[in-house]
Chains A and B, each alone.
Chain A
């Protein structure tokens, strides 16, 4: 969908026959009973239209006719549909779940696209052209050649304060976003600071308030001015929204309680990184714990480059 990706779309005709999903002749090796990347062409067309509209109106939730996918709601059916509509045979896919490449959700979605689209997969952020993510933005900066697809459980940032869909739509239409600050006010009144640590509301291009999916607020600054295309798919709620490359994305806050992108105040115990988002892992029942990078690719790459953390020396010994 962006300029650097077009070469993969203009494949020479002789290569087209070799694509999985295309079956001009029955002798081809990649003959499949399924369309490329699982969805039928009409569905892809419908989703791509929604994606184009979402990119044209940054932060606006575009309704789309979400399909049943062969996985339960909450496992990323929205993200899978968006990914399927974006994938081309030349793409290289990376799937992460809370930053990790090796958890159930990530593994099953990656395998799903390996089987239904036959695309190459990778765990390296830099090598991927499409990255489907659940609740993280990779630590490594993205490029213009990449698409980041988010799985979104509840796309409506105002939902927990205003249950009526008709009303929240009207609020978006008329830019009545005072209610969003009521939530932040409640945080400060109760906890002394803005305690919302994930799904932190943002305003996109000075217009729509958007839920950036449950990414930690540590990742919020990465939404802004990002060279990659960021697409958000909510399957159960049938909504698609997007942040185009190099968009202005501002986290909401108060003048006297400004937004802070917080993380655990530690270094990674495996690679020693001080600037990455950390997971806390309980290691026994006597209170021992370790902090490790939530982005496994980032952590592995650092370890391979010789970086060591507090606990990695013991493993070597």
Chain B
């Protein structure tokens, strides 16, 4: 956080549009993300939030618009630069940990992969870092040589987070990180994520349909409907005083226990 440039947004998205043939994935999306900021994107299924996230993270190519990373257009990057960004300054946490982990490789190997990908060649150092990170995501150190297939869903998700954060990325994309977990595990994961985000000063773009998740994590909120952004604002402001009809529906749809 100390060296962060506060005069320029970390990520600046301009008029981003992705079409699937005649249908719209997302249209005319624009926002700035500042260092240390957490942006939540909410909306119902099919609202284009996952399309938007995969365009941002470079997994899909948008049809129009620009994505500026520290002022440089990511879409103009070469494949090599883009992939270097993806395993260095950026990280992507998948909804299903099986997509983000190597299930046949031990937990330590999973965490160490990004370190080895950026050139670390000292086994002892890699293992120490992996042990440290397993501790930070509350996985016991003696599980370091177990494969993720022997882990519970919550542990797998925490392992995926450790694997992504080990190289100290500055921007993390998260796609429904709490999806598929039961509520008590969800609560612990959210607590953990909140701690990590605050401690490391991460900038995060988090996509979810769970308003509780964004209430806890996000500084700012973007509400999407049918591919368009219908409302943006500070999280508490949007959730406590929704202006758009769809946001009002969304907020009032949350089940009260």
Chain B residues within 8 Å of A13, by CB: none
Chain A residues within 8 Å of B145, by CB: 189-190
What's the nearest-Cβ distance from chain B to residue A209, in Å? 13
**Is the C-beta of B148 less than 8 angstroms from some C-beta in chain A?**
no
- Report the stretch among B113-121, B202-210, B216-224 that lies at the interface: B113-121
Does B118 lie within 8 Å of A185, measured CB to CB? no
Does B106 lie within 8 Å of A181, measured CB to CB? no
Chain B residues within 8 Å of A174, by CB: 79-80, 83
With A161-B102, A176-B83, A186-B105 as known contacts, state yes or no: A255 contacts B116, CB within 8 Å. no
Q: Which residue from chain B places its CB closest to the CB of A188 in the assembled complex? A: B123
Chain A residues within 8 Å of B123, by CB: 185, 188, 254-257
Q: How far is the CA of A190 from the CA of B144 in the complex (A)?
A: 11
Chain A 172-198: CB-based contact to B (< 8 A → 1; otherwise 0): 011010110110011011100000000
Main secondary structure of the interface of B (DSSP, over half): helix
Q: Which residue from chain A places its CB closest to the CB of B81 in the assembled complex? A: A174
Does A256 lie within 8 Å of B118, measured CB to CB? no
What's the nearest-Cβ distance from chain B to residue A167, in Å? 11
Does A254 lie within 8 Å of B122, measured CB to CB? yes
What's the nearest-Cβ distance from chain A to residue B77, in Å? 12
Q: Which residue from chain A places its CB closest to the CB of B118 in the assembled complex? A: A178
Interface size on A, residues (CB 8 A): 19
Q: How far is the CA of A178 from the CA of B114 in the complex (A)?
A: 7
Contact of A181 among B80, B83, B116, B124 (CB under 8 A): B116
Q: How far is the CA of A228 from the CA of B10 in the complex (A)?
A: 54
What's the nearest-Cβ distance from chain B to residue A290, in Å? 36
What's the nearest-Cβ distance from chain B to residue A17, in Å? 55
Does B121 lie within 8 Å of A254, measured CB to CB? yes
Does B122 lie within 8 Å of A256, measured CB to CB? yes
Q: How far is the CA of A255 from the CA of B116 in the complex (A)?
A: 12
* Interface positions of B from 69 to 121, Cβ below 8 Å from A: 79-80, 83, 102, 104-106, 108-109, 112-119, 121
Chain A 241-267: CB-based contact to B (< 8 A → 1; otherwise 0): 000000000000111110000000000
Does A182 lie within 8 Å of B79, measured CB to CB? no
Does B122 lie within 8 Å of A255, measured CB to CB? yes
**Is the C-beta of B55 less than 8 angstroms from some C-beta in chain A?**
no
Chain A residues within 8 Å of B144, by CB: 189
**Is the C-beta of B238 less than 8 angstroms from some C-beta in chain A?**
no
**Is the C-beta of B42 less than 8 angstroms from some C-beta in chain A?**
no
Does B116 lie within 8 Å of A185, measured CB to CB? yes
Q: How far is the CA of A188 from the CA of B112 in the complex (A)?
A: 13
Chain A residues within 8 Å of B104, by CB: 161
Instruction: Identify the interface centre among B114, B115, B116, B124: most chain A CB within 10 Å of its CB.
Output: B116
Chain B residues within 8 Å of A178, by CB: 113-119
Chain A residues within 8 Å of B126, by CB: 185
Chain A residues within 8 Å of B124, by CB: 256
Interface size on B, residues (CB 8 A): 25
What's the nearest-Cβ distance from chain A to residue B165, in Å? 17
What's the nearest-Cβ distance from chain B to residue A168, in Å? 14
**Is the C-beta of A27 less than 8 angstroms from some C-beta in chain B?**
no
Q: Which residue from chain A places its CB closest to the CB of B124 in the assembled complex? A: A256
**Is the C-beta of A170 less than 8 angstroms from some C-beta in chain B?**
yes
Q: How far is the CA of A160 from the CA of B250 in the complex (A)?
A: 46
Chain B residues within 8 Å of A173, by CB: 79
With A179-B113, A179-B117, A255-B122 as known contacts, state yes or no: A170 contacts B79, CB within 8 Å. yes
Q: How far is the CA of A256 from the CA of B121 in the complex (A)?
A: 8
What's the nearest-Cβ distance from chain B to residue A160, in Å? 9
Q: Which residue from chain A places its CB closest to the CB of B147 in the assembled complex? A: A186
What's the nearest-Cβ distance from chain A to residue B190, in Å? 30
Q: Which residue from chain A places its CB closest to the CB of B79 in the assembled complex? A: A174
* Interface positions of A from 55 to 79, Cβ below 8 Å from B: none
Q: Which residue from chain B places its CB closest to the CB of A178 in the assembled complex? A: B117
Chain B residues within 8 Å of A257, by CB: 123
Contact of B109 among A170, A176, A189, A255 (CB under 8 A): A189
Chain A residues within 8 Å of B109, by CB: 182, 185-186, 189
Does B118 lie within 8 Å of A182, measured CB to CB? no
Does A182 lie within 8 Å of B113, measured CB to CB? yes
What's the nearest-Cβ distance from chain A to residue B225, in Å? 35
Q: How far is the CA of A178 from the CA of B118 in the complex (A)?
A: 7
Does B108 lie within 8 Å of A185, measured CB to CB? yes
Does A255 lie within 8 Å of B121, measured CB to CB? yes
Q: How far is the CA of A185 from the CA of B117 in the complex (A)?
A: 12
Q: Which residue from chain B places its CB closest to the CB of A257 in the assembled complex? A: B123
Q: List 22 A-B contacts (CB under 8 A).
A: A161-B102, A161-B104, A161-B105, A173-B79, A174-B79, A174-B80, A178-B113, A178-B114, A178-B118, A181-B116, A182-B113, A185-B108, A185-B109, A185-B112, A185-B123, A185-B126, A188-B123, A190-B106, A253-B121, A255-B121, A255-B122, A257-B123
Q: Across the A-B interface, give the 5 residue pairs with the lowest CB-CB distance, nearest first.
A: A178-B117, A178-B116, A254-B123, A181-B116, A255-B122
